[in-house]
């Protein structure tokens, strides 16, 4: 039975409204010839102005609700999301293409993130300091930063928005959210949950539309803070628009993440982690393992382990039982990956292993393991798909130098049994996250997440409650002195 197409609308000032722009749709990447997943009219710049005005009008009342009350709203949202988990996972797989197991995992992680930030409402939110005056208290307080622009990608259409929106709302900020155009139905589903949980009119506004709408949002003079996850070029354009006017900025961008494998590593478990990190979610993660650097004489054995695992991957529609990897998100993404892969082969890369893909309509890309040299374009430029290149070096010094030979600095992995080697890599690899004997992907929601170099921007990190509080608030120091006692 054909699933009906979902009709989507904008959320502006507490009202669901049709967009005033062009007609757009999202499709199932595993069945692009079928019925659309969702259809909608894009928001206009006039509707962006309406959303900004609604956010400004809601700001004071949302702030006055208090931290604990806002935390309770997030807790209710977590419970609602948990109740709808299977429907959300099915929708995510239809619209984004990832396997149902991955979608269920993302929904579960999003529920936990909402609970985590709800609980953070009860953590200390300031400090007191001694005063040189006996009748004075010196303390720090946090105040909302103002209207927050949230711009999110399609690869984690629920979890990344929750990472950003939950703490922004917790700290009393109104939000205007522009999600990726490939996954609008997931954005509407999350907005429905937050509104039903008690986020008041105007405190959360959703605008569905193209990239230029996001550009107008971040450039708006009333936008006090911008949190963005996406590509490096777009991130740099946002930086250039936001930094000169003094708004706060948080960027999480691309990566070209290396896995360094030492001769003493346990190769079967290293191969498990590398294939999971490089090929999981069809390679559509900024933290995915793009380069494998084999040190010394472990190269041949490691390649054998990796090739066996890549060839065994099951690619197919995400909703099918047994599927490990679904399609990539769009025809454009498929074409970009296959073009980059062919360029690598033309430049001299050798194909070590591939996995079969379905012979049916769909945005399929075969998971591919390459052997190459550092000079390949694919070893310098991020390719957002299931392609990993194995490189060979003679020693650890060369491995660290090669791992760092990139403009990025998001994640890195090292596989070794030697604690001194591991500690050196933790210190010397230029990456915001360094994983020892673990995939380059994945992080704990209560630990700071962010990169270095072109992978990020020097600002408080995502995820951890302390980092989130630092970004979504402005700090103030209050000197509170008692008035003199009345003369008796």
Residues labelled as active-site residues = 286
CA distance 147 to 176: 7
Rounded to whole angstroms, how far apart are CA atoms 61 and 23? Answer: 35
Q: Give dist(CA 397, CA 415) in Å, integer.
A: 15
Q: What is the rounded CA–CA span in Å between residue 293 and residue 302? A: 10
Give the Å distances, CA to CA, from 103 to 22, 110, 480: 29, 11, 50
Nearest to residue 351, comparing CAs of 339, 369, 367, 337?
369
Helix, strand or coil, per DSSP, at residue 387 = strand
248-281 in b/e burial notation, b at 16+ Cβ within 10 A?
bbbbbbbbbbbbbbbbebebeebbebbbbbbbbb
Record the tokens describing residue 180, joined without a space: 């990726």
What is the distance between the alpha carbons of residues 172 and 321, in angstroms, rounded to a whole number? 43
> How far is it between the farthest Cα atoms of the chain?
94
Determine contact, residues 36/336, Cβ cutoff 8 Å: no
Residues in the chain: 488
Residue 45 gets which letter from DSSP?
A: H
Angle at 56 between CA 54 and CA 59, to 5 degrees: 105
**Pairing assessment for the beta strands 38-41 and 175-178 based on DSSP bridges:** unpaired
b vs e for 460-484, b when ≥16 Cβ sit within 10 Å of the residue's Cβ? bbbbbbebbbbbbbeeeeeeeeeee
By C-alpha distance, which of 395, 180, 175, 403 is closest to 289?
Answer: 403
The separation between the first and the last C-alpha atoms of the chain, rounded to the nearest angstrom, is 86
For the record, the structure tokens of 352 come out as 């070590």
């Amino acid at each position: 039975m054909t699933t009906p197409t979902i009709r989507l609308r904008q959320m502006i000032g507490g009202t669901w409204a049709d967009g005033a722009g062009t007609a757009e749709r999202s499709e199932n990447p595993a069945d692009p010839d079928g019925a659309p997943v969702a259809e909608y009219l894009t928001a206009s710049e006039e509707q962006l102005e309406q959303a900004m005005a609604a956010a400004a009008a809601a700001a004071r009342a949302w702030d006055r609700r208090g931290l604990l009350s806002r935390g309770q709203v997030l807790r209710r949202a977590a419970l609602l999301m948990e109740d709808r988990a299977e429907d959300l996972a099915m929708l995510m797989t239809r619209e984004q293409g990832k396997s149902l197991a991955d979608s269920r995992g993302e929904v579960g992680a999003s529920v936990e993130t909402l609970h985590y930030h709800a609980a953070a409402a009860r953590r200390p939110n300031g400090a007191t300091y001694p005063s040189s005056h006996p009748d004075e208290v010196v303390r720090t307080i946090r105040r909302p930063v103002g209207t927050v622009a949230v711009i999110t990608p399609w690869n984690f259409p629920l979890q990344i928005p929750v990472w950003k929106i939950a703490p922004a709302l917790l700290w009393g900020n109104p939000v205007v959210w522009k999600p990726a155009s490939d996954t609008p139905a997931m954005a509407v589903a999350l907005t429905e949950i937050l509104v039903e949980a008690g986020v008041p009119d105007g405190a959360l506004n959703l605008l569905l539309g193209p990239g230029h709408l996001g550009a107008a949002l971040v450039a708006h003079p009333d936008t006090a803070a911008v949190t963005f996850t996406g590509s490096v070029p777009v991130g740099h354009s946002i930086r250039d628009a936001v930094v000169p006017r003094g708004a706060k900025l948080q960027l999480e961008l691309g990566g070209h993440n290396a896995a360094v494998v030492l001769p003493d590593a346990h190769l079967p478990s290293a191969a498990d982690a590398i294939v999971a990190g490089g090929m999981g979610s069809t390679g559509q993660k900024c933290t995915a393992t793009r380069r494998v650097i084999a040190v010394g004489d472990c190269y041949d054995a490691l390649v054998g382990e990796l090739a066996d695992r890549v060839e065994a991957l099951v690619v197919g529609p995400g909703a099918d039982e047994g599927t490990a990897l679904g399609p990539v998100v769009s025809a454009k993404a498929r074409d970009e990956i296959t073009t980059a892969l062919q360029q690598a082969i033309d430049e001299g890369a050798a194909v070590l292993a591939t996995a079969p893909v379905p012979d049916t309509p769909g945005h399929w890309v075969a998971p591919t393991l390459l052997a190459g040299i550092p000079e390949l374009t694919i070893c310098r430029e991020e390719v957002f798909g299931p392609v990993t290149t194995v490189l060979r070096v003679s020693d650890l010094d060369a491995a660290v130098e090669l791992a760092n030979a990139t403009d990025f600095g998001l994640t890195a992995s090292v596989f070794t049994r030697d604690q001194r080697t591991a500690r050196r890599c933790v210190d010397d690899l230029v990456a915001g996250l360094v994983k020892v004997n673990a995939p380059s992907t994945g992080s704990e929601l209560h630990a700071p997440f962010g990169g270095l170099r072109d992978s990020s921007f020097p600002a408080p990190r995502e995820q951890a409650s302390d980092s989130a509080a630092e970004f979504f608030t402005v700090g103030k120091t209050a000197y509170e002195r008692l008035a003199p006692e009345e003369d008796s």
